[in-house]
Homo-oligomer: A and B are copies of this chain.
């Protein structure tokens, strides 16, 4: 055999490998139906290694979630010369397209499933929403103001639920979704001045 029974990798590489496997499994089954044995098997690794790298099954789950939940980073469109509402519409369209291609993970993670007030899962999602709000604010060309960011991040769950109606249920058209969300954003960022 060309590959020895045991392969030794750089820690970061192995970490990635395990997280990737976790993302794969958790995209098909909920948390408590995925055993550490299954996770280890999918990653092609001994079960103990999961605890070595992540300490905890839950911690690995959170790490996988952090990756799946983040809005795709890159260049949001920016058109300084166009009016605010048009810039906003373009940003919304960009987000919806990204959601469409990028997969369901972002759409499906809109809040805490447990009833617990401050859960670790909620913290992960909050961080992602906060970051998204920052990016959008920047793309629209508004200052990264505390009050503005509060308003924008509270619309993040709305984005996800509207996307669900559009993508998964087909109860809204893309155009309707764009229109509703654009108007909402404008509503939220403008009402600050009132």
A172 to B23: give the CA distance in the assembly, Å.
35
In the assembled complex, which residues on chain B have CB atoms less than 8 Å from the CB atom of A31? 32, 113-114
A59 to B2: give the CA distance in the assembly, Å.
48
A36 within 8 A of B: no
Q: For A68, give the chain B residue with the smallest CB separation.
A: B115
The main secondary structure of chain A at its interface with chain B is: helix
Q: Are A115 and B108 in contact (CB under 8 A)?
A: yes
Closest Cβ–Cβ distance, residue A40 to chain B (whole Å): 18
- Chain A residues 156 to 183 lying within 8 A of chain B, measured CB to CB, are 156-158, 160-162, 164-165, 168-169, 171-172, 176, 179-180, 183
- Chain A residues 99 to 135 lying within 8 A of chain B, measured CB to CB, are 104-105, 108-117, 119-122, 125
Q: For A106, give the chain B residue with the smallest CB separation.
A: B115
Give the A interface residue count (CB, 8 A).
58
Closest Cβ–Cβ distance, residue A154 to chain B (whole Å): 4
Partner of A104, one of B117, B162, B183: B117
A12 within 8 A of B: no
If A30-B116, A110-B110 touch, whether A154 touches B158 (CB-CB below 8 Å) is: yes
In the assembled complex, which residues on chain B have CB atoms less than 8 Å from the CB atom of A108? 111-112, 114-117, 119, 122
In the assembled complex, which residues on chain B have CB atoms less than 8 Å from the CB atom of A58? 32
